[in-house]
Structure 1
């Protein structure tokens, strides 16, 4: 009987490696010089966290490590487990230890445990009741409590590259026991590469897509010939790795922002396309573009803000996909514009000065004096109306509170329009200090 045909599990489950030697990828951890290889040579596991994208082998690696160290594997999923399940696992681990067996407690998606659930693990990890292996797609720095992080070493798993996925594909096609059984699959090299690219570094996705494309094809005499249209139907709308609100989301918006700041329109367009392709909210991106126009372009080119706002309005009016082009135009304009964060920096300095300086009094000459009493108290006294002086500058007049006089919060750059603003402000400051106080009229 054909083993593959009799096994109802998905192809990805059937093809899980049985030994560490069969494991594909993560050479930086498993090669002889890698930390996990060194740990295995010592014969003793320590608690660890596997952080990596889906399909990088986190669950499989945990199982193989338990087998390699002859430990009892207890799997839990944080999606449907809580403190009660943790207590039950602790009881089983203590019973196993009494019989001389070590336990590996593997918790998938450990980032879904709340603080109380994570804290419930701490004393047992500390006492060595079990060796904890947690798997997460989220940044452990944000998803896990510090006490747990200090007791477990974090290992970063990487997405599989094209050559590693090709090796896995070749193994699967050649494995007549666990793979596709008696079926012989014929697929042109360019179609194989399309399949590998669609997997996007995810071994599970690769095998699931292969399984689906074989099911969609019609075998003839035990041979399945994969055609382009069949592969396209299986792949469908295959999203690249992206997690709205997760690590990939913030990494990619950071890459977009920094590409704009670095004046690289090609890179900025790429990250824009990646985010839209991954399902990011286009209006979220539009809001970030408005922020970038103010923060990184600033007054070096004030039109950048107009362009960003117009792109937002155009997207609202057109929607996708036509409105995506408006975002692309804004991205290119912002990336190509001269850059200045002078206003952004000045605003931060002013806010810090306000917080540090308390409620500084408004200088008397700047105060409004609508009543006789206020005028008698000196409100508005000695104020000079700037339009009464040449170039609309009242010489010697100051506008900051006493404690802050002489501060230059805004320091324009020498790029774009801001270079002209800089010249203008230097000229104004020089004329304001001029001793000439003659008025233009009485």
Structure 2
């Protein structure tokens, strides 16, 4: 992690069972070359001892705002000035609430108010606490104050519940921290999005609390043990979308065909090969998904019959006839599910791009479609840049359109996710306003 070498990181630890992960996190940060100092809340010391953190960092651990020896030199201000990054892991619901409302009633909250460092936190709490509107409001407020939230993850919890609220694993936090300290800006410049597409209260964490499932990359349809049908998709666009969705605050599940790309930090990845495997993974994933984005370049056809042994060349034959059958249409299947998520498709075309895309939007009953011209040199498959046109219909069945010019896939992905989430929120508002039918 070259970008962490020499970084001055103040690690704040609050009172949660996930504090046991903080010891491993401190060790990883030191291993990456960072200078690490630790501040613990009083409650955190019930879960892990200051001596453990002192042994791992080689620095005295601070626990009290009213430490006469430290405060003789205004220790909390010295710590606030020393830090280049303030990282709180775990950050409990209580600590988030206190920071969101400007409290300064212990050493950690006081130095957070006094610092000009980059501030990040890894939330950790029960799934119901994370989902509570007060916690969600606090998370949004913290983002508006400049805090970056890393996670939370979802899964089994110490209390026996299952859902979002787990602290990210230390390895993921270090990876995200390294990305955040690169010399390039973390997030692309925001693009102007039409007011008709935006939610009432767009924020830096507009996807907070949402689960987004994406497909990415190509599929491989086997012919025999050594050959398969596939396409030129690199997966870069789908992975950029997954990264952007996580940055917008969503829990992200990425169903990936075979690609040579690293899993984005904080993203759950499910590897598949064929279209059938991708469909099965998608079916299982949409049960708790708010948004489904079908970005994968799924092979339209597969071999009718798989050959158990390598297909051999026959002397004298100059041609080989393969009988192909249609693969399942994954995005259309998701759009016909009940209940269904907000479904976004992709249309990679070489001519009449918008016409074909609009037809696919209507025919497959999608909520939105992202159309791009893959015939343009330097854009699309395998390239680092892309352009797109986003198409949808609003509540009055009026067509919506947003054109995004050529730009890096990372920047484009951020604009796509912002628009998708905005349309999701708008659709939710429209559904709430729709007259409810009386049940007999």
TM bucket normalised to smaller: under 0.3
TM-score between both structures, scaled by the size of structure 2: 0.23
